[in-house]
Amino acid sequence: MKKVIIITSLILASIEVSSTKEVKIKTTNHYNSISKYSKTIKLVGTIYYPVEGQCDSDPLVTADMTKVDPNRIKEQRIVALSRNLLKRWGGKISYGDTILVSGGVDKEYLGEWYVHDTMNKRYTNYLDFMVPTGTKLAKFDSLTIKVKR
């Protein structure tokens, strides 16, 4: 009697079935050979607060309807991108994507951030870090990011 086994994942497998119906699976994981980030993108980076003067009339809700917890802004690590970078306006990055900030900024801005907001249409090739009100404002002229895939 023959049995068919279907495996759907990033793991390649070879299967041996013995006459005693014992199944041996040898696996090779190729996930590590796939780069989990896109090519580097260079941007200008700035900082913004979730307040009406820098957002819209509901600053604790982002463009993709994510709710901002004012007590956890640092942990939420939310960024806004200029429209030219977002899929909604023809770019390659979607709301909810994770980006890796890898250079050109102060240490506290390095690492993974989450795309949930959109900048004003007057900006091109910009990233805006959401930070707690009172954090020192800054501008980073040669920020580098990669998009997690």
Domain positions in the chain are: 41-147
Q: Give start and end residues of each alpha helix (H) in 15-138.
A: 73-76
Is residue 57's pLDDT more than 50? yes
- Looking at domain 41-147, does it have CATH number 2.40.40.10? yes
Q: Do β-strands 11-17 and 126-130 pair in parallel, antiparallel, or remain unpaired? A: unpaired
Quick one: which H or E segment has residue 128? strand 126-130
Q: What percent of the chain has pLDDT over 90?
A: 72
Residue 147: its pLDDT value, please? 95
Q: Which residues contact 40 (CB under 8 A, 6 or more apart)?
A: 102, 144, 145, 146
Q: The pTM is what?
A: 0.75
CB-based contact 66:149 (threshold 8 Å): no
CB-based contact 127:77 (threshold 8 Å): no
Residue 135: its pLDDT value, please? 95
Is residue 1's pLDDT more than 60? no
Q: What percent of the chain has pLDDT over 70?
A: 77
Residue 81 tokens read as 């991108």
71-130 residue pLDDT tens: 999 999 999 999 999 999 999 999 999 999 988 999 999 999 999 999 999 999 999 999
Q: d(Cα 136, Cα 53) in Å, to the nearest integer?
A: 16
Average confidence score pLDDT of the chain: 82
Residue 59: its pLDDT value, please? 96
Is residue 138's pLDDT more than 50? yes
